Amino acid sequence: MPETPTTPAIPAPTPTPATPTPAAPTPAAPTRSPSLLTSKAPARPALSSVSVATVGGTAALVLLAAIGHALGQTVLIPPLAASAALVFAAPALPLAQPRNVIGGQLVSAFVGLAVLAAAGSSVWASAVAGGLAIGAMTLTRTGHSPAAATAVIIVATQPPAALFLALLLLATAVIVGFGILAGRSGRTARYPTYWW
């Protein structure tokens, strides 16, 4: 049988290394100009939660004013309104817990009384009392920012120690008690998250 001529094989093309194609640039996110209406603050709480906080805080502070009126003493001092703000508007914060509200206020009061006894009443002594109260609360783990003002008030106003401490204890117990009632409403965060 006659042989058929073979055709020479055509060599296969050699693969060329693939050159990476540059990635398409990612389009820049649209920039937003800052607005007074945009914020990184937490969302506004539900109206029912705001209502409970408002009513609870108002009731507690009005009761303190009524107790003071009945006793002929000042029971409602500015730091207690700030304490109520923490208990009713931010009940889950450590600063709002009973240990911190009652303990922080009493620790700061003792600091204020000690500074008053040692340095007398002056604006300088008041400033020192506020600063030392911050340190004392930190050491005793009873941090409660409004209470630093209680130390300042004691040095500035020179109240009778025993009466002031008794009224302060009563006032903080009223605020915590109303906070517990508000926390049981089911419309706010449960209060307290811890006692001690």
pLDDT in tens, 156-184: 999 999 999 999 999 999 999 999 999 99
User: How much is the pTM?
Assistant: 0.79
Contact of 102 with 173, CB cutoff 8 Å: yes
CA–CA separation, 178 and 83 (whole Å): 12
| Segment (H or E) for 14 | none
Task: Retrieve residue 176's tokens.
Answer: 């915590």
CA–CA separation, 170 and 74 (whole Å): 12
Task: Retrieve residue 117's tokens.
Answer: 């006894």
Residue where the block lists tokens 């509200």: 101
Contact of 106 with 98, CB cutoff 8 Å: no
- Which of the residues in the chain have pLDDT under 70? 1-36
Q: Region of 187 please: left (phi>0), alpha (psi -120 to 50) or beta.
A: alpha
- Name the DSSP letter for residue 96: G
For residue 39, count other CB atoms closer than 10 A to its CB: 8
CA–CA separation, 179 and 183 (whole Å): 6
Alpha helices in 14-97 (DSSP H): 47-71, 78-89
CA–CA separation, 128 and 118 (whole Å): 11
pLDDT value, residue 161: 98
> Cα-flanking dihedrals φ and ψ of residue 6, to 5°?
-95, 145
User: What Rg, from alpha-carbon coordinates, does the chain have?
Assistant: 34
CA–CA separation, 126 and 151 (whole Å): 7
For residue 45, count other CB atoms closer than 10 A to its CB: 15
CA–CA separation, 53 and 189 (whole Å): 10
